[in-house]
Structure formats: structure tokens, C-alpha cells
Amino acid sequence: MAFSANQTYATGPKFSENFPKKTISTLLKPHNLPTLNPCKKNHVLPQQHKPLYISAATGFGYTDGPARTRDPFSIRCNAYEAGRSQPIVPISIGFDREEAAQKAKIGVYFATWWALNVVFNIYNKKVLNAFPFPWLTSTLSLAAGSLIMLVSWATNIAQPPETDLQFWKNLLPVAVAHTIGHVAATVSMSKVAVSFTHIIKSGEPAFTVLVSRFLMGETFPLSVYLSLLPIIGGCALSAATELNFNLTGFMGAMLSNLAFVFRNIFSKRGMSKGKSSSVGGMNYYACLSMLSLLILTPFAIAVEGPQLWAVGWQNALSQIGPNFIWWVVAQSVFYHLYNQVSYMSLNEISPLTFSIGNTMKRISVIVVSIFIFQTPLQPINALGAAIAISGTFLYSQAKQ
């Protein structure tokens, strides 16, 4: 097998020595061509191109050297120029392994993030349908994540972060906003369908722009403001046509949007200072969960209380059976895992890519939840959801 490639070469200064002078004169006279003068030093004739043919291909996954090691991205071959019989050019064909590995890593992050989020939303809704106590449910989610990370640090599965007092001070406002957003979203899902909560939560970019513009003094190009129109219009259309509309559920989703906007703002401000900037995504979210748990626990006890929890727990067990305990464990563990993966993704991708990924995540959650829970959906309601999600995508592009 052979392929041709252009090979550039030039004859050297002793070109005339390869031919007898008499032969050269004989060839030139009949055509009245000018006499060729010997090439001067450092002078080359015009470049010529001849095809190259592969004579041997080796490697195919192995690197050369004292020890032949496996390298699936390396191929080595020899080539010879047309008219010659021996190899003159070694050719190495390779691929950027780091870039390929990075793309594969991001793909795994995204697939894992979406899958874990879908599973969490399904089990979270099942638990809330049987056990309508969103404050305790939110607390258990944070407690499970905190326990997982403490065990990971104690067993050296994960390296504990190096923190100081300033780190926790910077983290405190982030944790407060995270706690409010988490509880508000859980309250929303206890009152309305999962799909409706996520449709309203797709309006978070509108809150981001409004808060940044009027409270932080930031300005945005016109395209960003125009992208908010389909977001606001789509959310309004979905809310107006929702068959099982509930004001508490709607306000919970809206409050969650606002809280998470402030969480992002506080995070950007505080986590670039001191040791805060050296804590990776996984450990950062672990610390955030622990601090949020400390904040949420007394409020959960005050709002709902152990007595209501005991009665509700017995009712859920009597209706569902032992599977209810598995649902609670699953929704708590998957909540931590999907958030942990999302924070780990932030270390590997740009905010724009993350925003697009978050939009696609909401689409998958909405579609799967509609099929799992057989949520009734009017065409006009689906249109509103499509408009809102499309607006979110346009917003991520306009912010680029």
C-alpha cells in the first residue's frame, strides 16, 4: 500500500559533477539553450516536488525505545521518494492525547452530572409525595453529603482541604444563600410537578442580569437583555397554563432562583481570596454542605419539628413499606453526588459551557419526569417551556 505526499528537496552545489561535461554540452546545443554554470555556494535550484511512498509502518500503539510501551496514539512509518529505493523520511503520525483525554473527561462529567440529577429528582419527588416535609428532606440531603465527605477524608479516599478561619468567613454568605435556595427548591417540588419547578428555575438568568444590573452596577450588551424576553415570556406562559398550579410551589422556585444568584455572586467574591482559591471543587462543595447543614438544622426543627416528622414517617412506612427508606437514602446520596460532580466540572470547563450543560440538564429532567410521573401537559404549556429553555440557551450565547 502506498500514498503520495509532496516532498520538497533541492539539488546541492555540486550538481554538474554527477554528469560528464561533454554530455551536458551535447544535450544543450541542439536546443540552443543557455549554458549551465556551476552552482555557486549556498545557491539552490528551484524547488521540485515528487511523491512519497510509505515503505514501512510500525508502532500502531507502541512507542520505540528500550522498553516497548503501549501508546494507542502513536504510529511510526518510513517513506521513500519516487525514484529512490531506500527510506529517506521517517514520519510520525500522532494525536494530542491530552486534548482527547480532556474531552473524554468532560463528556464523562456531563453524562454523570445529568444522570445523577435525573435520579435525584425522581427519588426526591417520590419521597415528598409520601412524606411532605421538605425542611427535613433538605436537611437529610446535606447530612448525607457531609457524612460521605467526612468518611472520605478519614479514610484518605479524598485529600482533606487546607482551610483557615478566613475561608469559613468567606464561605458563610455562600452557605446561607445555598441553604435558602436548596430549601426553596425542595418546598417547590413538594407542591408542584418536577417539570414545572424546573421550567420556572430555567428563568435564573433573568434574576442574574437584574441583580447584577441594579445591585452590582454591571452593564450588559443589548443581546443579553433581548435574550431575557423569551425566558420571562416562556416562564409566564407555562405558569399561566399549568394545570396543577400552586402559588407556594411557584414562589419557592422563584426564591430558589434568587438565592442561587446571590450564592454565585458571593462565591465569586469570596473564593478568590486567601486559601479559598486553593480548595478544589469537590472539597469546596463538601465544606459548603457542612456549613449549610449547621445553618439549616435549627430552622428545620423550628418549622416542622420531631413530632410531625415521627407521625409523617410512620404514615409513609405504612403506605410505601421498607422501600420508602431506600427512597430517602437514594435522594440524599444522589443530591450530594450530582452537586459534587457539577462543582468538579466547573474546574474543567468554562462558565459558558457549564451554562449550556445546565440548560441541557433541565431539559432531560423535565422530559424524564413527565414520563415517570405521567404529568399532564397541555401543548401551550409545553410551548412555554420550550420558549423559556430556548431563551436560556440564547442568554448563554449572548454572554459569551
Lowest mean per-residue pLDDT among 72-76, 164-168, 360-364, 396-400: 72-76
Cell 510520525: give the residue: 92
The CA-atom distances, in angstroms, between 343 and each of 1, 288, 311 are: 50, 11, 36
- Residue-level pLDDT at 294: 97
Residue type present at position 118: V
- Residue-level pLDDT at 22: 47
Q: CA-CA distance, 338 to 185, in Å (whole number)? A: 15
* pLDDT greater at residue 157 or residue 32: 157
- Mean of pLDDT values over 355-374: 83
The CA-atom distances, in angstroms, between 110 and each of 102, 115, 186, 346 are: 12, 8, 23, 11
The C-alpha cell at 397 is 450565547
Q: CA-CA distance, 54 to 56, in Å (whole number)? A: 6
Percent of the chain topping pLDDT 70 = 70
Q: How many CB atoms lie within 10 A of CB 217?
A: 7
Phi and psi at residue 56, to the nearest 5° = -160, 145
Is the distance from CB of 331 to CB of 123 less than 8 angstroms? yes
- 56: part of which helix (H) or strand (E)? strand 48-58
Q: CA-CA distance, 209 to 395, in Å (whole number)? A: 10
Phi and psi at residue 63, to the nearest 5° = -90, 150
- Residue-level pLDDT at 270: 62
- Residue-level pLDDT at 102: 74
Is the distance from CB of 114 to CB of 361 less than 8 angstroms? yes
- Residue-level pLDDT at 239: 87
Contacts of 320 (CB under 8 A, 6+ apart): 130, 327
The CA-atom distances, in angstroms, between 372 and each of 32, 90, 101, 109 are: 90, 59, 35, 24
- 188: part of which helix (H) or strand (E)? helix 165-191
- Residue-level pLDDT at 125: 95
Q: Are strands 48-58 and 6-9 parallel, antiparallel or unpaired?
A: antiparallel
- Residue-level pLDDT at 78: 59
Q: CA-CA distance, 92 to 78, in Å (whole number)? A: 9
- Residue-level pLDDT at 275: 55
* Helical residues (DSSP H) of 192-280, grouped into ranges: 194-201, 204-214, 222-241, 247-270
Confidence of residue 2 (pLDDT cuts 50, 70, 90): very low
Q: Give the sign of the dihedral formed by CA 18, CA 21, CA 23, CA 25.
A: positive
Contacts of 324 (CB under 8 A, 6+ apart): 127, 130, 131, 316, 317
pLDDT in tens, 139-160: 999 999 999 999 999 999 888 8
- Mean of pLDDT values over 21-45: 48
- Mean of pLDDT values over 240-255: 91
Q: CA-CA distance, 225 to 228, in Å (whole number)? A: 5
pTM, two decimals, is 0.72
- Residue-level pLDDT at 27: 44
pLDDT in tens, 161-211: 888 888 898 899 999 999 999 999 999 999 999 999 999 988 888 888 888
Instruction: Name the DSSP letter for residue 35.
Output: P
Residue 175: which region, alpha, beta or left (left: phi > 0; alpha: psi -120 to 50)? alpha
Q: CA-CA distance, 400 to 268, in Å (whole number)? A: 18
pLDDT in tens, 324-339: 999 999 999 999 999 8
- Residue-level pLDDT at 4: 45
Q: CA-CA distance, 392 to 5, in Å (whole number)? A: 48
Is the distance from CB of 239 to CB of 378 less than 8 angstroms? no
Is the distance from CB of 250 to CB of 184 less than 8 angstroms? no
Q: Is the pLDDT of residue 273 over 70?
A: no
Q: CA-CA distance, 137 to 252, in Å (whole number)? A: 15
- Mean of pLDDT values over 97-113: 79
Percent of the chain topping pLDDT 90 = 36
Confidence of residue 83 (pLDDT cuts 50, 70, 90): low
Please, what is the Cα angle at 197 between 141 and 189, to 5 degrees?
45
Lowest mean per-residue pLDDT among 72-76, 245-249, 253-257: 72-76
